[in-house]
Amino acid sequence: MISRIWKTLPPLYLMVLCLVQSCSVQRFVPENERLYGGADIQIEKNDSIEKIPAVRNELELLLQPQPNTSFLGMRLPLFFHFKAQRERPGFLYRWLNKNFGEEPVYFSDVDPQRMEGLMRNRLDNHGFFYSTIQSEIDSTHQAATVSYRATIPQPYVMERYQLESDSSQAYKAIGETLGESLLEKGDRFDLALMKSERERIDNRLKQQGYYNFNPDFLIFEADTNQYRNRRFDLFLRFKKEVPQKAKIPYEIGKITVYPEYKITNDTTRQEHTVYEGIDFVQDDDFFKPKRLAPYILLKEGQRYNAETARLTSNRLSGIGSYKYANIQFKEVDTTLQKDSTGLLNVDIFLSPLTKRSLRAELKAITKSNGFTGPGISVTYSNRNLFHGGETLNINGSFSYEAQLTGGNNEGLNSIVGGLKTELVIPRLVPFSPSRFRYAVPKTRISLGGDFLNRSKLYTLTSINSVFGYTWNANRFVYHELNPISVNYTNLANTTAEFDTILDENPFLRTSFEQQFIAGLNYGFTYNELVDGDKTRPIFFSANWDIAGNLLNLVSGGKREVFGLEYAQYAKLDADFRYYWKWGKQQTLVSRLYAGWGLPFGNSVTLPFAKQFFSGGPYSVRAFQIRSLGPGTFQSTDTDGSSFFDQSGNLRLEANLEYRFPIWSYLKGAFFADAGNVWLTYDIDLPLDEPEESRAFNEELIAKGRFGSNWVSQLGVGVGLGLRVDIQSFVIRLDVASPWRVPYLPENERSRIPFFGSGDNNLVWNFAIGYPF
């Protein structure tokens, strides 16, 4: 008999049966209890009733308690809990119970009658008056479930919305806002919508001076007696005994600012300076009043406005010199009559950050090309440098990297150093900041230099300077405009080995010839991720970079300025991301990226620093950094020491990643990436160019040229990752494997990820932060 059963049931089914039996929790349940199996809701309604799915979701949210989690008939969290209650549960069951266990939910914890009452109340709130709820219990000797049947009649809809008013100023102000009302004729009775209407009125009145107004002072009354066809009139009025001070507007009185506020300060002994009607109380002119006054939007004699107060607080906090800005309003005793106006004095307390700070960071650097080594970074900051909120940052960095694994080039090393000075001014220089009410615009001026010495290859020094502006237009939109951006790079001390690389790769050599870049760049960012309540946020950024036009005009069309050959090009890139959040920290992220640069005039290629690369921890993770493309081209460099020739002027990428929690700060992810870079122009070499250089150039253009078959040239990879996410500080480890390898012969490009044959079938990526 056993033999026949074994032959009939596949071994896999037997394994599942054994697992279910071993994880059964019924033997742990007390005799007088039954496990709760959950509940379902059935709705009977007229076909003309709309928006039932939303109502059903609200009713389902009311169902309490929730049954124990089960999967394929197994209640593993409950099983872990029962096992951990034994006299000697062992370390494993204690750990499983602590992290995944659930206490049992019995049917005795369920109160169907109470649920019926809550459901009727919720349906009443949505206008389905006189609904009926009936519950039915389905019970076995192991578990019990509840089925709720809701019979929903036609809802009541609004016929008229009217404000009951008197002669007070507040009623008049409310009446003026009814044109923006959320309530319209024909709307279903909805308590949540009425609450939103009260909050809308409160928000509007708080912007018109009504400092003491509160939405709880308003009450709605519905009259259903005048109609027989389930319609009602809605009336809005003040509740009884509302204080008179809530019904009058307030004006701003005296404004006092404490620019250097400390709890230990004796403000009575500090100097008072009045500027533009604002009293500044401080010692030694800590913050110049003429610099601080423009950030204060509150003015004496104007109506109180909660939005203006909020923007003022944001602007003061955004200067960069203060830990916080605390605005306090004090009512001045006045006789409050129906037609009177209250008075508010304003005290603004500003707590400064430490004026000078020094921060040092020790770093361990590791790169996908095998370079590893220590690094140090030191930053000095001086806040409120010229007593106008200016911040001076000086950063110096130094690192030593050695290539520990690199084939024939093992033992190469690099010395990297840099020094950067930046001055941040919390206003537009030389323009007026009056148009920027939402946040403080900032002027950034920077000058820096970098040094790179790579043994056996070259020495690279660069100097860069930027003058530009940054500002937030609103909560989601950020702009960065740099009218002046200058970068000069000098390649020196090249070795014979590197000269050979340049001779064999004319595309690389040409991109190094013009290293003087001067132009304008602009960046736009729209970011809904700042709103943590959004379940479908989007992110979009675009950057525009154009160089050489002004220099071409100044030089009269000559190729050089100050003896330096300058570059001319235009470059645009865009990054779009869509986030879909649900459950407990689960997110599906999709991303599209496109970038294109085009040399013109004085240039035949993009400067090397402005070219596009693909592959690496923030790109297509199944390929090493800068090792993908252009097109189907494959570098002859197999030791990972450099990827100079694998770049292009066009980049297209798409990514999809599912993120989920594992335990505490540990998160997981599954992802798929696709992308590549291409060339969209030819490089005309001089007639005296060596034959081998011409051959290389022709091969690069032929394999790297963007064409109609670009989809078949995408590098595609899949993978999984682990992330430690501690308050937005993320350490990430991803492992990926190629699915399509574009540089292989066309009929051999597809492979089985992780299990297929071929080189670099597993690519590890260690990085800081999420890839996108």
pLDDT digits (tens, 9 = 90+) for 59-93: 888 988 989 888 777 888 888 888 888 878 888 88
**CA contacts within 13 A on the Cβ side of 275:** 18
**Which three-class secondary structure state does DSSP give residue 406?**
coil
pLDDT of residue 504: 72
| Residue 294, SS3 per DSSP | helix
Taking the C-alpha atoms of residue 323 and residue 350, their distance in angstroms, rounded to an integer, is: 8
Q: What is the mean pLDDT of residues 183-203?
A: 93
- pTM: predicted TM-score of the whole model, two decimal places: 0.79
pLDDT at 10: 44
| 284: CB partners within 8 A, 6+ apart | none
Task: Say how far apart CA 212 and CA 169 lie, in whole Å.
Answer: 13
Give the residue-averaged pLDDT of 172-193: 92
N-terminal to C-terminal alpha carbon distance within the chain: 59
For tokens 């037997």, the residue is 14
Assess whether pLDDT exceeds 60 at residue 722: yes
Task: Lowest mean pLDDT of 329-333, 477-481, 521-525, name the range.
Answer: 329-333
pLDDT at 76: 86
Q: Which pLDDT belongs to residue 437? A: 80
Q: 192 and 145: one domain?
A: no
In a domain, 260, yes or no: yes
Using the predicted structure, report yes or no on whether residue 217 has a pLDDT greater than 90: yes
324 and 390 assigned to the same domain: no
d(CA 478, CA 483) in angstroms, rounded, equals 17
Is the pLDDT confidence value at 318 over 50?
A: yes
Residue 131 lies in a domain: yes
- pLDDT digit string (tens) for 156-166? 999 999 998 87
Identify whether residues 364 and 479 lie together within a single domain.
yes
pLDDT reading at 565 higher than 60: yes
Average pLDDT over residues 46-68: 82
CATH number at residue 36: 3.10.20.310
Q: Which amino acid is at 464?
A: N
d(CA 538, CA 742): 31
| Same domain (yes/no): 117, 15 | yes
Domain that holds residue 316: 250-352
The answer, yes or no, to whether residue 12 has pLDDT greater than 80, is: no
625 vs 765: CA distance, rounded Å: 9
The sign of the torsion formed by the CA atoms of 12, 17, 22, 25 equals positive
Tokens for 653, please give them: 């990428």
Comparing 125-134, 509-518, 593-602, which segment has the lowest mean pLDDT? Answer: 509-518
In a domain, 529, yes or no: no
Q: Are residues 397 and 341 in the same domain?
A: no
Give the integer Cα–Cα distance in Å for 663 and 466. 44
DSSP reduced 3-state for 204: helix
Highest mean pLDDT among 255-264, 356-365, 475-484: 475-484
Highest mean pLDDT (candidates 404-413, 527-536, 560-569):
527-536
What pLDDT is recorded for position 382? 95
Query: Which pairing describes strands 371-383 and 356-366: parallel, antiparallel, or unpaired?
Result: antiparallel
Residue 367 pLDDT greater than 70, yes or no: no
CA 567 to chain CA centroid, nearest Å: 35
CA distances (Å), origin 226, targets 2, 160, 444, 627: 78, 11, 67, 77
Higher confidence at residue 24 or residue 3? Answer: 24
CA–CA dist 273, 127 (Å, integer): 60
Residue 573 pLDDT greater than 70, yes or no = yes
Q: How confident is the model at residue 527 (pLDDT cuts 50, 70, 90)?
A: very high
Residue 384 shares a structural domain with residue 427: yes
Between CA 374 and CA 378 the distance in angstroms is: 14
Q: Same structural domain for residues 471 and 370?
A: yes
- CA dist 228 and 165 (Å) reads 27
Q: What is the CA radius of gyration of the chain?
A: 35
The total number of structural domains that make up the chain: 4
Residues contacting residue 551 through CB under 8 Å, at least 6 positions apart: 518, 561, 566
Higher-pLDDT residue of 435 and 167 is: 167
Provide the pLDDT for residue 496: 83
pLDDT tens digits for 280-310? 999 878 899 999 999 999 999 999 999 999 9
If residue 328 lies in a helix (H) or strand (E), which one and from where to where? strand 322-332
The sign of the CA dihedral 561, 566, 570, 575 is: negative
DSSP letter (8 states) at residue 186: T
Neighbours of 196 (CB within 10 A): 14
Per-residue pLDDT band at 742 (split at 50, 70, 90)? very high
End-of-domain residue from the set 336, 352, 368: 352
- Is the residue at 612 inside a domain? no
In percent, how much of the chain has pLDDT > 90?
A: 50
Predicted local confidence at residue 30, as pLDDT: 85
Average pLDDT over residues 708-723: 94
Q: Are 241 and 255 within one domain?
A: no
Q: How far is CA 753 from the centre of its chain?
A: 30
Helices 496-504 and 506-513, axial angle in degrees (round to 10): 110
Question: What percent of the chain has a predicted confidence (pLDDT) above 70?
Answer: 89
Within-domain flag for 690: no
Asked, for residue 126, whether it belongs to a domain, the answer is yes
Q: What are 279's strand-pairing partners?
A: 256, 274
Q: What pLDDT sits at residue 739?
A: 94
Q: Where a domain ends, among 229, 246, 263?
A: 246
Given a cut of 50, whether residue 13 has pLDDT beyond it is: no
| From 92-101, 474-483, 520-529, the region with the lowest mean pLDDT | 92-101
According to the model, what pLDDT value does residue 511 have? 64
pLDDT at 5 over 80: no
Question: Do 255 and 238 lie in a common domain?
Answer: no
40, 96: one domain: yes
Is the sign of the CA dihedral 427, 432, 438, 444 positive or negative? negative
User: Can you give the pLDDT at residue 514?
Assistant: 58
Split at pLDDT 50, 70, 90, the class of 629 is confident
Enumerate residues 6+ apart whose C-beta is below 8 A from 501.
508, 642, 644
- Residue that is last in its domain, among 484, 500, 523: 484
Round the average pLDDT of the chain to a whole number and report it: 86
| 8 Å CB contact between 625 and 771 | no
Torsion angles phi and psi, residue 709, rounded to 5: -95, 25
pLDDT at 8 over 80: no
Mean pLDDT across the stretch 466-477? 94
Residue 4 has pLDDT above 70, yes or no: no
CA distance 589 to 541: 16
Q: Judge whether residue 745 has pLDDT over 70.
A: yes
Please compute the mean of the pLDDT values over residues 512-522 and round it to a whole number.
Answer: 83
Structure tokens at 143: 């578990």
**Mean pLDDT, residues 698-721:** 90
Q: Is residue 541 part of a domain?
A: no
Q: Quick check: is 677 in a domain? A: no
Q: Does residue 330 share a domain with residue 214?
A: no
In this predicted structure, the answer to whether residue 401 has a pLDDT above a threshold of 90 is no
In 3D space, the residue among 486, 420, 487, 490 whose CA is nearest the CA of residue 453 turns out to be 490
Q: Of 232, 226, 230, 205, which Cα lies nearest the Cα of 217?
A: 205
Q: Do 112 and 165 reside in the same domain of the chain?
A: no
